[in-house]
Amino acid sequence: MKDKDYLDSFRDFLYEGSLSQKWEELPNFVKKDMLMSVDDDLGPDYADSYLNVSWEKIPEDITNILSGYKELNETEKNNKVDTITMDVPLFIRLLEYAREDAQTDMDLHNVAENAIKLGLDGGILNMKNYSQLIGQ
């Protein structure tokens, strides 16, 4: 995990509800980071192989490692809400993208995931981030 917030999100994931259901609800970039954290050498292969599969189809040795994160701090629980801060020009351009350029609902979900990922450091997103947000 590259960021303490990711680890906190993962802890929340493990505390609430079934692992299978929570796995399905996680954004792909969080799943990818979790899978890559399992093994320094094989993590990228795990991310490629298991990013878009159900929890039940991930090999048990991998899910056991992922589930092991629960023991890192069983008493601490963080219910932070994901937030994104951006300047007005970027906000207007993203509205234009949503109306004119996005082809599917998934395009908008990908923009949201990218915005959350780029905004983890708490900085203000601006037009310099536009191509990263839309995945170009």
Q: 70-109, pLDDT tens digit by residue?
A: 433 333 344 466 789 999 999 999 999 999 999 988 899 8
- Among 12-21, 22-31, 79-88, 124-133, name the one with the lowest average pLDDT: 12-21
**Would you say residue 116 has pLDDT above 60?**
yes
Both 15 and 60 in one domain: the answer is yes
Cα–Cα distance measured from residue 37 to residue 47, given in angstroms and rounded to the nearest whole number: 9
Q: Which two tokens stand for residue 12?
A: 């929340």
Q: What pLDDT, on a 0 to 100 scale, did the predictor assign at position 76?
A: 39
Task: Flag whether 58 is in a domain.
Answer: yes
Q: What pLDDT, on a 0 to 100 scale, did the predictor assign at position 87?
A: 95
Task: Flag whether 83 is in a domain.
Answer: no
Structural domain boundaries, residue 31: 4-72
Both 62 and 95 in one domain: the answer is no
Domain final residue, candidates 20, 39, 72 = 72
Which residue spans within the chain are E strands per DSSP? none
Q: How many domains does the chain have?
A: 2
Task: Flag whether 81 is in a domain.
Answer: no
**Would you say residue 129 has pLDDT above 60?**
yes
Q: Which two tokens stand for residue 67?
A: 């589930």
Contacts of 113 (CB under 8 A, 6+ apart): 27, 28, 29
Both 22 and 59 in one domain: the answer is yes
Both 47 and 102 in one domain: the answer is no
Both 28 and 62 in one domain: the answer is yes
Both 14 and 62 in one domain: the answer is yes
Confidence of residue 124 (pLDDT cuts 50, 70, 90): very high
C-beta neighbour count of 52 within 10 angstroms = 9
Both 118 and 64 in one domain: the answer is no
Contacts of 107 (CB under 8 A, 6+ apart): 101, 134
Q: Is the pTM of this model over 0.85?
A: no
